[in-house]
Structure 1
Amino acid sequence: MSVRPDGEWLIVHQCLACGELGANRIAGDDNALVLMRLALRPLRDTRVASGALLAL
């Protein structure tokens, strides 16, 4: 997850085939609970956080 300076949330994803990073804006009808779970995922699993930082 990422947040733009204007407060808009983005879902950052990585292609399993080529490894390219991409970002999609969230939509108004997206499930807020699922979005919060995605945002908190790196805090729960440190392997995800370290892998994401290394990709940047």
Structure 2
Amino acid sequence: MDALTMSVRPDGEWMIIHQCCTCDELSVNRIAGDDNAMALVRLAVKPLRDNSLAHRVLFQL
């Protein structure tokens, strides 16, 4: 699984969007309390650096 980006639910909970490296299926997982905060911030701003990533993920959802 490759972590693509982050999403925020209406209740404020942050989610990580992953993509399977084999079949390209997307999955969503909640963040954990022991996740690296800096890595999460980098992941959250990743679509701002790579527009093709944001479009690819949005169209698959």
Superposed structure 1 runs of 4+ greater than 3 Å apart: none
TM-superposed CA distance for 1:54, in Å, is 2.4
**Which of these two proteins has the greater Rg computed from alpha carbons?**
1
Distance 1:22 1:52 in 2: 11
Distance 1:47 1:9 in 2: 22
Q: Which has the higher contact order (CA 8 A, sep 6+)?
A: 2
Q: Are 1:41 and 2:46 matched, yes or no? A: yes
- The answer for unaligned runs of 5 or more in structure 2 is 1-5
CA RMSD of aligned residues (A): 1.1
TM-score of the two chains, using structure 1 as the length reference? 0.86
Whichever structure has more strand as a proportion of its residues is 2
TM-score of the two chains, using structure 2 as the length reference? 0.80
